[in-house]
Chain A
């Protein structure tokens, strides 16, 4: 069975500091990993997916199959990055398995 773990429920940083939100997964096959973000009073929305290897809003995430991790990083946090971040695994396109989420607070 697949599982996604986000060890930090809350991460608080100052504006301009680097950010790393951790995500580890367990899955026997070849996973598709995503980061979803939920800003205050808004819906869940896709931030980025590992297959596209893109940078969105300055965030990047690299899939490390050896460590079964997909950590989300940003070199310089902005106040508008404050949100809930969810790591998710898609096993075959029919369902997403979410981690518990990390609340990122960026202080001025």
Chain B
């Protein structure tokens, strides 16, 4: 069964550095998402992406964040200048269709640690 993949599984970076988290969505999916989960807290929506543009974003997704689909398979999340509070598990997800009842398939996550 096709799966969403994410790399790396764990990223350690210093405060102020840029990081790029990588995701390969399921190949026939058209809608892509990033979520994050700070340790001990809820899974929080960051951004959704369709047709090469952001369709929705949360308050968390400020100017430090950006997303890109650089080729036909990858979907990346960039954090320009990381802060300590960006330490979290970042999940990528994809779905065939954004309308209700279509399942979002999640990747295994990238654990980002900012020191």
B104, A96: Cβ atoms closer than 8 Å:
yes
Q: CA separation between A32 and B98, bound complex, in Å?
A: 12
Main secondary structure, interface of B, reads loop
> By the criterion of a CB under 8 Å from any partner CB, how many residues of chain B are at the interface?
28
Q: Identify which of A45, A94, A97, A100 gathers the most chain B CB atoms within 10 Å of its CB.
A: A94
> By the criterion of a CB under 8 Å from any partner CB, how many residues of chain A are at the interface?
22
A44, B100: Cβ atoms closer than 8 Å:
no
B100, A43: Cβ atoms closer than 8 Å:
no
B43, A32: Cβ atoms closer than 8 Å:
no
Question: What residues on B are CB-neighbors of A94 within 8 Å?
Answer: 48, 55-56, 98
Interface residues of B in 33-78 (CB under 8 A from A): 33, 35, 41-45, 48, 55-56, 58
